Amino acid sequence: MPANETALINGRIVGDDGIRGGAAVLLADTRIAAILPAHDPRVAAATPVDLEGGLLAPGFIDVQVNGGGGVLLNNTPTVEGVRAIARAHRRFGTTGMLPTLISDRIGTMREAIDAVREAIDAGVPGVLGIHLEGPYLAPSRRGTHDARVFRVPDADEVALATSLGNGVTLITLAPEQVPAATIRTLVARGAIVAAGHTAASWREARAGLEAGIRGFTHLYNAMSPLQGREPGVVGAALEDPGSWCGIIVDGVHAHPASLRVALAAKPRGKLLLVTDAMPMVGADSPSFELYGETITAVDGVVRNASGALAGSALDMASAVRNAVRLLGVPVEEAVRMASRYPAEFLGIGDRVGRIAPGYAADLVLLDDTLGVRATWIGGEHERHAA
């Protein structure tokens, strides 16, 4: 037995088949070595960590994190900015994330990509890649994005947008604004492409899916709606069995009934929880600056000066609780929507997002209210205040 094995004991484990008691999770360095009966000799020989009856789940993976800890990636596209955002979200159970750049100038895009690359090289805990939300979007569905920076990427910008190299790149774009050939090139260069902030018709959305679009960013928000004679982007998203949809479950961005419709329409595993979090998550201030404008959260709802929703003040632990409370999703399924399903969407479901031998030791310990008590990232343990 390796000398550095740790046994997580006396917990309830969220596995592929439900919640399991009477077992221990054995960690070896950065990986899960085994799941064993509590009385197994290897468990007795390892260094114990008593989970005190808590719920041990795969660490949460958030594919849309604009900011946290008082930092917005657009304003602080540096390694330290990325580190601060990841640090702020860890206390809410997020052990893997994509720092997200809202539409911006090409220079800021280059700085953000460089910062994320350097953060991954430096081993900043929890950083899996980058999400470029725009600037290839539809002006009529811009939300709080600045349409003055919207553009169609040329070959040089396609090369830049896909230049991360050491992590996942997710790009949100409007399929009616970007030629199908360009979408295919982005995909061929390794990017995951999602449709969002789009006024596309159902036919245009379908063409985007055929060109390689893999998912839909914050379903229902900033996209053409489902109607009887024009299904729109929402209709294309709900109809398509192979694509994933991110959902913001905060009771504001989408009505719970609409999200329950999506749960009924999509195959299991194709809806994933996202936060679309802004800097006030994990920070004391309810306000921040974007494009020179003050954005403020009032009663937990984030809006710009014109009243448009501008991201959220949601964290992943709250999203999981809301999925249970507002959508009626079982706890174990809500956990999968925050861990396994995002990992599969990102194409890394073979190494993160599950509690299984060989997987990364990225874990979250929850109490009976689904509050976060502790996290592990790459086997490194951190306790969190209730």
Q: Which residues are catalytic?
A: 276
| CA 329, 171, 239, 234 torsion-angle sign | positive
Integer Cα distance of 262 and 276 in angstroms? 19
Contact assessment for residue 26 and residue 42, using Cβ atoms and an 8 Å cutoff: yes
Amino acid at position 172, single letter? T
Integer Cα distance of 376 and 370 in angstroms? 16
How many C-beta neighbours within 10 Å does residue 7 have?
Answer: 23
What tokens were used for 13?
Answer: 């484990």
How many C-beta neighbours within 10 Å does residue 350 have?
Answer: 12
Which residue, chain included where needed, has tokens 């008590």? 373
Using CA atoms, how far residue 162 sits from 54, 60, 153, 170, 384, in Å, is: 41, 25, 11, 9, 36
**∠ Cα 280 285 286 (to 5°):** 60
What φ, ψ does residue 55 adopt, rounded to 5°? -95, 115
Integer Cα distance of 138 and 328 in angstroms? 34
